[in-house]
């Protein structure tokens, strides 16, 4: 079973590759539509993605993804009566699961995963909680995509309010607050530093 450290490494490598690929395609991830992201996922993974809104009342789980036809087709379900910013965050996170997950991460019992997501503390490296870990990692991948760390550094330096930033990056104020917190920024920076060292080593090896 892949450890959480290995999965986090995969997460930041995926974020780097995805942001570079979007940039090479002329797409600014902070302004792209979710359809553009879905089309990019289709290009990378070969999965045709459909969005469906569901009319339910919930205060915990706002969306989920189901995969069909041996991974060739996926449907992202999102709660209808939430704000557009929350829909943007939820759908992006579900799409990121397709980019990040491996076979071991998928859970055939979706109801069990949804139930565990509302439990305050679970051991994410335990075999029975792999699908929960997948949800959490996909969320963080989507954050690094929708609001990259370079832009976060700039906004912190300029002292913009969370409300202003949330409107610009189309994310809920609560998520923006998490992303700009000193603890989260420090944690991300350590991982991006490691990815940068790795990338420079790859470039040096390729030049030999």
Per-residue pLDDT band for 49 (boundaries 50, 70, 90) equals very high
Q: Is 171 exposed, middle or buried (0-12, 13-18, 19+ CB in 10 A)?
A: buried
pLDDT recorded at residue 134? 81
| Distance from C-alpha of 120 to C-alpha of 20, rounded to nearest angstrom | 35
Half-sphere exposure (Cβ direction) of 71: Cα atoms closer than 13 Å: 11
Count the Cβ atoms, other than its own, within 10 Å of residue 94.
28
| Alpha helical stretches, state H, 25-127 | 34-45, 84-100, 110-117
Using only C-alpha atoms, the chain has a radius of gyration, in whole angstroms, of 17
Per the CB < 8 A criterion, the answer to whether 77 and 63 are in contact is yes
Q: Which residue has the tokens 């790795």?
A: 198
Total residue count of the chain as it appears in this document: 208
Residue ranges per structural domain of the chain? 4-207
Summarised one tens digit per residue, pLDDT across range 104-146 is: 656 655 454 444 433 434 344 455 455 678 888 999 999 999 9
pTM of the entire structure?
A: 0.82
Residue 66 has pLDDT above 80, yes or no: yes
Summarised one tens digit per residue, pLDDT across range 162-177 is: 999 999 999 999 999 9
């Amino acid at each position: 079973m892949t450890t959480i450290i290995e999965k986090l490494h995969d997460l930041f490598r995926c974020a780097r590759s995805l942001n570079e690929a979007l940039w090479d395609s002329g797409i600014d991830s902070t302004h792209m539509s979710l359809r553009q992201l879905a089309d990019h996922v289709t290009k990378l993974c070969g999965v045709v993605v459909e969005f469906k809104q569901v009319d339910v009342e919930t205060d915990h789980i706002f969306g989920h993804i189901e995969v069909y036809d041996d991974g060739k087709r996926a449907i992202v379900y999102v709660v209808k009566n939430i704000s557009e910013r929350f829909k943007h965050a939820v759908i992006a996170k579900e799409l990121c699961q397709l980019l990040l997950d491996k076979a071991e991460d998928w859970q055939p019992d979706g109801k069990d995963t949804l139930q565990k997501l509302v439990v305050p503390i679970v051991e994410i490296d335990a075999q029975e909680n792999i699908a929960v870990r997948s949800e959490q990692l996909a969320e963080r991948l989507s954050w690094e995509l929708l609001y990259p760390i370079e832009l976060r550094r700039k906004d912190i330096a300029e002292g913009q309010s969370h409300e202003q930033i949330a409107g610009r990056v189309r994310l809920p104020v609560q998520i923006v607050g998490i992303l700009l917190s000193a603890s989260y920024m420090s944690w991300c920076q350590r991982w991006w530093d490691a990815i940068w060292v790795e990338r420079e080593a790859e470039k040096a090896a390729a030049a030999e």
